[in-house]
Amino acid sequence: MNHLWDIVQLVTTTPLVFVAIGGLIWGILGGALPGISASITMALVLPFTYTMNPAMAIALLACVYIGAEYGGSIPAILIRTPGTNSAAATVIDGYELNRQGRAGEALGISLMSGVVGSLFGLAMLVLLTEPLSWVALLFKPTSYFALGILGLSVIASMTGGSLVKGLAAAVIGLMIATVGTDPISGVTRFTFGVPDLLSGVEPVLVMVGLFALTELMSQSGTSNIPRLKDSIRIKLPSLAVMNRLKRSQFIGCLFGLFEGLTPGGGGSIAAFMSYNEARRWSKTPEKFGKGSEEGVAAPETANNTVASTTLIPLLSFGIPSSNSTAVLLGGLLMHGLLPGPRLFEQNPQVIDSLYVGSLIAIIAQIGVGIVILPACIWLVNRPRPYLAGFIFALILSGIYTLNNSTFDLGLALVLGLVGYFMRLAQFPFLPMILGVVLGHMVESSYRRSLVLSGGDHAIFLEDPIAVGLLLAAAGFAIYSLTREYLDARALRLQGARS
């Protein structure tokens, strides 16, 4: 009862409602812009949360994520260009419905399926996160070291492409994390006499540099996207239509839950998997690809479910499984909040704000989604040269806000350049960001373990949790190497045949 009263006070005495709706609006607008992913939308707003109350800042970021997942479906349906990666599956039937003059219906189905998926995901988040986080209480420094290694190896293995490149990116991230003052001895490392580097490189700079600046640089010189029609309005589905869609929405919820819990899973995989399964279990599979309502409902339910369920491993163990959750982790760390059971004990207001703010955003999404569509269309129709200028100015304004430092601006630009070359050479970003974020935990846990054992590495083998986690890390690496080898062999055979 007391907790319920706390929540009532939270809603009535803090700006949570405004923060949730503001985050939702920002997320929808950012997600609707092709090329601006959910993580970029979050990274753009991240520096501005620096001066905010931590509870409000985290709620804002979570609501931006929820909004961006819906926003991505708008250009996917209207111009066959997904606003976010996870909306790619929505293109298939969403755009077909648009071609048949049913764009309003498709947007309505996308909106309501997103609400269903988000509500289910939030329920799972509330039910599963705290019990799972208590497992972390059994962790010793050796376990935390192993957890960090597992997180890095899983992300390096699962982000697609080459394991070697993923691991190299993770190591570079760990190297960046060593810049600044050594956490144990207080000695400075790699600062080269620059005072701005004494406190290290802030993860938010790496995120903004790699995600946002690299994307802007990559899009430089690309042509304008097709114009959206101004006259389109959302038509919400009737109860009868929602009843027809419940099977595909159920499938979307299941895959959204599964992929949200899986490191490296993410909304895109959940959306495509649920699309395939919805077709398999549909009474009218022949309609898929030709404008099926279920073909919109399943992926949209799935990617919106992921927006909440992907927070479960993040809040329980501090391991982000996607770019967006890495940004959210950056937000938590920026405010001195460490995920795990202590977050629930010591900062319950942050968790309450996250849950209640998300609920407000999900419910508000129905009204806001309808009202904001013309604004999304207006924004997407702006000439790309001006959009690029405004986004670039927004990024630089945000970075300056962090420490009122032009050095930070320069550093972010350098990181943007690094990101651009990483993209050219097909190196993934997420392992590097995770290396920066987890670097402190990995190093201090490793060194504390060795202090406890007097320098004997056997201590890692005496902790069953650490052994289990390190074996899992090795398993993921072996799986990834095997997959790479098999893919390369298939390619060679294909080449030999042709």
Partner 1 sequence: MNKDVLSGLVLLVIAGLYYAATGQIADSTLSDEVGADGLPRVLSILLASLGLLLLVRSLLAARAAPRLAAVAADGKEADARLPRALGFLLFGAAYVLVLPFLGYLASTALLIGAIALFERTERPSMVPVIAIGGAVLYWAIFVKLLGVNQPVGSLWRGILS
- Does residue 187 belong to the site contacting partner 1 (CB under 8 A)? yes
Site for partner 1 (CB under 8 A): which residue of 7, 123, 135, 417? 417
Q: Cα–Cα distance between 412 and 417 in angstroms, integer? A: 9
- Does residue 243 belong to the site contacting partner 1 (CB under 8 A)? no
Cα-flanking dihedrals φ and ψ of residue 81, to 5°? -130, 105
CB of 137 to partner 1, least distance (A): 25
- Does residue 336 belong to the site contacting partner 1 (CB under 8 A)? no
- Does residue 495 belong to the site contacting partner 1 (CB under 8 A)? yes
Instruction: State how far Cα 460 lies from the chain centre.
Output: 31
CB of 447 to partner 1, least distance (A): 5
Contact flags string 382-411 toward partner 1, x per CB under 8 A: -xxxx-xxx-xxx-xx--xx--x-x--xx-
| SS3 category, 453 | helix
Q: Are 110 and 296 in contact (CB under 8 A)?
A: yes
Q: Are 266 and 310 in contact (CB under 8 A)?
A: yes
Contact flags string 203-242 toward partner 1, x per CB under 8 A: ----------x--xxx-xx---------------------
Neighbours of 170 (CB within 10 A): 27
- Does residue 349 belong to the site contacting partner 1 (CB under 8 A)? no
Site for partner 1 (CB under 8 A): which residue of 175, 241, 370, 472? 175
- The three state secondary structure string of 309-341 is HCHHHHHHHCCCCCHHHHHHHHHHHHCCCCCCH
| Between 175 and 241, CB nearer to partner 1 | 175
- Does residue 425 belong to the site contacting partner 1 (CB under 8 A)? yes
Neighbours of 66 (CB within 10 A): 31
- Does residue 13 belong to the site contacting partner 1 (CB under 8 A)? no
Q: Cα–Cα distance between 257 and 279 in angstroms, integer? A: 19
- Does residue 33 belong to the site contacting partner 1 (CB under 8 A)? no
Q: Are 219 and 208 in contact (CB under 8 A)?
A: no
Q: Which of 122, 100, 95, 124 is nearest to 110 (CA)?
A: 95
CB of 454 to partner 1, least distance (A): 7
CB of 231 to partner 1, least distance (A): 24
- Does residue 488 belong to the site contacting partner 1 (CB under 8 A)? yes
- Does residue 294 belong to the site contacting partner 1 (CB under 8 A)? no
| SS3 category, 228 | coil
- Does residue 184 belong to the site contacting partner 1 (CB under 8 A)? yes
- Does residue 17 belong to the site contacting partner 1 (CB under 8 A)? no
> Which residues ranging from 252 to 291 are in contact with partner 1 (CB under 8 A)?
none
| Helix or strand (DSSP H, E) at 180 | strand 180-181
Total residues in contact with partner 1, by rule CB under 8 A? 66
Q: Cα–Cα distance between 24 and 360 in angstroms, integer? A: 9
- Does residue 18 belong to the site contacting partner 1 (CB under 8 A)? no
- Does residue 171 belong to the site contacting partner 1 (CB under 8 A)? yes
| SS3 category, 447 | helix
Residue with tokens 């202590």: 342
CB of 455 to partner 1, least distance (A): 4
The token pair that represents 381 in the structure block: 């129709």
Q: Which of 270, 318, 323 is nearest to 40 (CA)?
A: 323
Q: Are 302 and 309 in contact (CB under 8 A)?
A: no
- Does residue 427 belong to the site contacting partner 1 (CB under 8 A)? yes
Contact flags string 43-62 toward partner 1, x per CB under 8 A: -----x--x-----------
266: left (phi over 0), alpha (psi -120 to 50) or beta: left
Residues facing 188 on adjacent strands: 181
CB of 450 to partner 1, least distance (A): 5
- Does residue 188 belong to the site contacting partner 1 (CB under 8 A)? yes
Which range, of 99-107, 284-292, 447-455, 459-467, touches partner 1 by CB under 8 A? Answer: 447-455
Site for partner 1 (CB under 8 A): which residue of 168, 370, 467, 472? 168
Neighbours of 119 (CB within 10 A): 18
Q: Are 452 and 144 in contact (CB under 8 A)?
A: no
Neighbours of 450 (CB within 10 A): 17
Which range, of 22-30, 36-44, 178-186, 283-291, touches partner 1 by CB under 8 A? Answer: 178-186
Q: Which residues bind partner 1 (CB under 8 A)?
A: 48, 51, 162, 164-165, 167-168, 171-172, 174-175, 178, 182, 184-190, 213, 216-218, 220-221, 383-386, 388-390, 392-394, 396-397, 400-401, 404, 406, 409-410, 413, 416-417, 420, 423-427, 443, 446-447, 450-451, 454-455, 488, 491-492, 494-495, 498
